[in-house]
Structure 1
Amino acid sequence: MDGHPEAMKRQPRGDNSAWDEVLAHRPTDVRDDVRARLVESGLTPERVREVLADGGDVLYATAKSGEEDWANRFGGPLAVALLAAEVSAFAAHLNSRASAVRALAVDSLLDDFSAVTVAARLGVSRQKVYDISRGNLSASFIDRVPWSSHE
């Protein structure tokens, strides 16, 4: 596909641990399909890791450059679309993780304060406080973002 005919013959096997690590933001039940699409388009775990590590900054800057063949740097338009999808999925994962942490904090606040007080402090409606507090940390979230310096 898109300049990578040999990629059509590859199997998404190889070093699955590298793929599992770079796709840790994806639910386990979809990782094989995602990995297969990435491999079929000629992408490697290293390339995906690189794009996720800068939050898609280079991908965006290259797309915005206006150069005619800007997508070739990443393996063509299909590879770019898949890389952009991973940036989006990663951002959605981080958003869900932050929402789960917020839910835990709000639930804790409700032990000591009224929903009206919590709502006023958060700048949301009383009903929204109850909605927020329903989240939980039981989902499988990544422990650290790739650019974190914390161990």
Structure 2
Amino acid sequence: MRRQPRGDTTLDWDVALAHRPQPQARAEAAARLAECGITAEQVVQVLADGGDDLFAASRSGDPQWADRFGGPLAVALLAAEVGALTAHLTSRAAAVRATAVDALLEEFSAVSVAAALGVSRQKVYDIARAQRMGPFLDHVPWSRP
């Protein structure tokens, strides 16, 4: 069991905010969200649809569109988590690309790799040297069973 009847456990926030790999950043985000009345489950739900529901509500024309999410502050915090997740996924994709380009350079010239990727030769070297920091999520939130 991961839930306690009196509130979210640390594990719940760790799961909901797994895209924030630094424990301090995750704890600070969890505190901001909880202070606004947002639960870990709400964060998981918003991330599961990539913010689609937030976006649709914001474009609905309903003057109270933010109320069902907890108000404008809650929406801003939830949208920030969608942004943090997408930034994390962008970094993860860049790390994968860097690893692949580095492997390509072991077999092919930078000119050949550049032509195949549609970038300049210098960009190939920039990509290959990119930081491959982590840790990264193994799975996006919407692919988990």
Match for 1:98: what amino acid?
Answer: A
Q: Report the RMSD for the aligned CA atoms in angstroms.
A: 1.5
Q: Which residue of 2 aligns with 1:19?
A: 13
Q: 1:146, CA displacement in angstroms?
A: 1.5
The 2-side partners of 1:144 and 1:87 are apart by: 15
1:131 aligns with one of 111, 122, 126 = 126
Match for 1:122: what amino acid?
Answer: L
User: Aligned runs of 1:60-79 on 2, under 5 Å?
Assistant: 60-79=55-74
Q: 1:43, CA displacement in angstroms?
A: 0.2
The 2-side partners of 1:65 and 1:48 are apart by: 21
Once superposed, which parts of structure 1, at least 4 consecutive aligned residues long, lie more than 2 Å away?
135-138
The 2-side partners of 1:31 and 1:22 are apart by: 9
Determine helix, strand or coil for the equivalent of 2:20. coil
1:89 pairs with 2:54: no
Match for 1:117: what amino acid?
Answer: S
Is the Cα–Cα contact under 8 Å of residues 104 and 133 in structure 1 kept in the other structure? yes
The 1-side partners of 2:65 and 2:8 are apart by: 29
Q: 1:137, CA displacement in angstroms?
A: 4.0
Is the Cα–Cα contact under 8 Å of residues 22 and 48 in structure 1 kept in the other structure? yes
CA deviation profile, 1:36-57 (whole Å, cap 9, x unmatched): 1000000000000000000000
Q: 1:35, CA displacement in angstroms?
A: 0.6
Is the Cα–Cα contact under 8 Å of residues 16 and 44 in structure 2 kept in the other structure? yes
Is the Cα–Cα contact under 8 Å of residues 101 and 136 in structure 1 kept in the other structure? no
TM-score w.r.t. length of structure 1: 0.87
The 1-side partners of 2:78 and 2:89 are apart by: 17
Q: 1:136, CA displacement in angstroms?
A: 4.8
TM-score w.r.t. length of structure 2: 0.91
CA deviation profile, 1:15-68 (whole Å, cap 9, x unmatched): 011101110101323111101100000000000000000000001000000100
User: Aligned runs of 1:30-109 on 2, under 5 Å?
Assistant: 30-109=25-104
Query: For structure 2, which runs of at least 5 residues remain unmatched after alignment?
Result: 1-6
